Amino acid sequence: MTTDTPARTPDTERLNALLGRMVGDLGAIASGALVLLGDHLGFYAAMRDGTRMSSLELARRTDTHERYVREWLSAQAAAGYVTYDEDANVFFLDPEQAAVFADENGPASMAGAFEVLASLWLDEPKVAEAFRSGRGVPWHDHSRCLFRGTERFFRPGYNANLVSTWLPALDGVVAKLERGATVADVGCGHGSSTIVMARAFPKSTFVGFDYHPESIEAAREAARDMGVAANTRFEVSDARSYRGRYDLVTFFDCLHDMGDPVGAAAHVRESLAPDGTWMIVEPYAQDRLRDNLNPVGRIYYAASTMICTPCSLSQDVGLGLGAQAGELRLRQVVTAGGFGRMRRAAETPFNLVLEARA
């Protein structure tokens, strides 16, 4: 027996408003591919100094074909990512556009985010299968652009905040680092967080841990390039088995990806020296879903659906915190791991910075 579903008539005004938002969303999605293209071909780097140039001049600078470059520039101008001077028929990056697309280490750099989002599309078939099976998708099974993009996306925030704001917000930690402390940076990825701290505190020793061998190799190379190999080392290990005893343990944007974050917390507790500190940096989130229904939450929930939750569900326990767990849920995890105190030490529009102590 079947039951016909009553026809529903959409409200014309609300439908048009939704379609208008869809046009904007589709334009953003299409422009994202062109951002990747321009980043990989060196177009933004060639325009970084603000020089006004024709498509032919940009093509010559980058050893590319003018007709393709002309179309790319036109699309970027339509997106507002490049500025067009109609009178002179030239294109250029204004200072704000250069800060976002061409200043790799600046606090406003966003080019890396587009590499992260590219992995969402590339890996959609794997995630779709995970939805059916419930088995998850481990980090190492994602496309390589995710690993590089994650480092590029988070590095500007670490450069801008880690030494100047986040570490000073922790009780007594900077003084220890200045005297010489031992630090474990767990889930370090390509090592940008480890390297930022190592450069700022040369008397301290930093050990970066990550279960992903390819990322550890990239971190070692970056440490050599940045001149901090003397006080850093990188080892392949997961969050529940790394060795050593440390004055400070840091987790940057990785606790929610772990299958067993409570087990990871318990191991941190065991690895801390007396009066040691655990710093946990997580994506910014409120505790209630309705309070995360905003532009930042939109990005984080999408990434959590395609990357973070599948990563956690691919591991044993598979708690699946997700990238929008919120402080209350994180506190439950930290407390269950054996910590008696946790507080919010700092925050940005994208980050929660938590301090846990025994």
Q: What is the pLDDT of residues 15-65, one digit of tens each?
A: 999 999 999 999 999 999 999 999 999 999 999 999 999 999 999 999 999
The per-residue pLDDT for 3 is 62
Residue spans of the domains in the chain: they are 12-101, 111-357
Question: pLDDT digit string (tens) for 171-193?
Answer: 999 999 999 999 999 999 999 99
User: Which runs of consecutive H residues, i.e. helices, occur in the chain?
Assistant: 12-41, 43-47, 55-62, 66-79, 95-101, 111-122, 124-133, 144-161, 173-179, 192-200, 213-225, 261-271, 295-303, 309-313, 326-336
**Each residue's pLDDT tens digit, 73-96:** 999 999 999 999 999 999 999 999
Say what the pTM is: 0.93
For the domain covering 111-357, report its CATH number: 3.40.50.150
Within a 10 A sphere around the Cβ of 88, how many other Cβ atoms? 11
* Matching fold, domains 12-101 and 111-357: no
Beta strand pairing call for 272-283 and 351-357: antiparallel
CATH class of residue range 12-101: mainly alpha
Q: What is the pLDDT of residues 120-130, one digit of tens each?
A: 999 999 999 99
**Tens digit of each residue's pLDDT (9 = 90 or more) over 254-287:** 999 999 999 999 999 999 999 999 999 999 999 9
Whole-number pLDDT of residue 353:
98
